[in-house]
Structure 1
């Protein structure tokens, strides 16, 4: 497909796209994908330095756990630059791997960042989109929102995002709003570094759980997000699309170790 044909297929040329978590591994892949589709991209992150080298029209800085700051920055952004055509809620964070790691502080911070903060970004943008009569929101949720793979507070927040997607799809569809979620499996980004420090063998232990035998790449997450954000997916809303190398399709390790006798 030519560049022109690519842009025509997705119909994102010169559309304004706001991407949170822009400085992270998935965020940078999202920027690359939407830039290739001809979009005008604004990025948001907690730290300006992580966005400085990126091809962004605007850079927003806020802490998702700070509701007042989020409200002020998003409100001023809309007032100054207008309502984005597409909002990609990508930012996320987790450190509480199991219930034993989760106390009041961990729970409240992970819910504040992964669920409440996303709401505080989304609500004013969707209100402005509704007034205009068009808009598209894609949330980067997780397979943790579909089933349990650890990280209990993060999982609760990501499941909440999927419910929020459905609420937006049902109640805001009449205003031309589409809302969908991408649910990645394990993605090899810097977010994995804290797990692999001193335990590089974790990746080899992880792979047998995935039917494709590998982790998902940031580019694969970005491509699926690009599709849902584009006019190519104009009839799709309220969905949660797993981009997970087959993890949620079934229990491959159970098949191999129990039914097939280790073959």
Structure 2
């Protein structure tokens, strides 16, 4: 019997932001594919209830602390087979919400911290001669949908992943990016609390007529980390219910006259 290239039996994956909405689905999807999962997050209580082989604790807003925690893990356990850089945060939704401190804070978490977390892992994978990284970016990296500082950081992840793909591919390291559209996670709670009818305005922009499910993002990450994607690196995959395919509202309101 030929083993499925989509399976990850015997592999270990490190997932940052593992206790979040997408993070928990990532853990479940990788476990279902047979992988052992190292969960990383800011505190142990955020990881409660997850089926984990180990944990790494750090606040990604603190680049030095993040790098130190990851390096300590590497010394103890060596490099995982795959890494999913998933942790992220945003609150500044429009340019008017920005100042120097807010800009620095959102880049610190979403870009600088992601670099500090993955850079030691990339080095260890390259030394071993194999490894796969997946960065959970956003459709905000591909076009402007609000959250300008977050968008700049997520676009930076795309450029960083491509650098890894080009400069470390010869040493067996792959790097790819997933760009989710709106995913119904707790990150939406503050918006819906302010306006319970918000989704009535959001969903018409999505050709599939719905938000993306966290497990759909997770399944894409499993694929990227599996041997089924062994020839794929430096790519960007929107998992966005069709948002970036075109402007459905324009088609409906201007062309169809709805």
TM class by smaller structure: over 0.9
Alignment of 1:150-229 (within 5 A): 150-229=146-225
Alignment of 1:18-33 (within 5 A): 18-33=14-29
Deviation at 1:260, TM superposition (A): 0.7
Name 1:81's counterpart in structure 2. 77
Name 1:71's counterpart in structure 2. 67
Unaligned runs of 5+ in 2: none
- Residues 42-91 of structure 1 show CA distances to partners (whole Å, capped at 9, x for unaligned) of 01011210102111111111111112211211011011111110000000
Distance 2:50 2:176 in 1: 26
Matched, 1:53 2:41: no
Distance 1:11 1:134 in 2: 17
Moved over 2 A (4+): none
Distance 1:105 1:260 in 2: 44
RMSD: 1.1
- Residues 188-242 of structure 1 show CA distances to partners (whole Å, capped at 9, x for unaligned) of 0001001111311001110000000000000100011111111101111000100
Matched, 1:242 2:238: yes
Count matched residues.
258
Deviation at 1:246, TM superposition (A): 0.3
Alignment of 1:112-151 (within 5 A): 112-151=108-147
Distance 1:116 1:152 in 2: 16
Query: TM-score w.r.t. structure 2 length?
Result: 0.98
**SS of residue matched to 1:8:** coil
Distance 1:140 1:180 in 2: 9
Query: TM-score w.r.t. structure 1 length?
Result: 0.96
Note if contact 2:64-2:116 (Cα within 8 Å) is conserved in structure 1: no
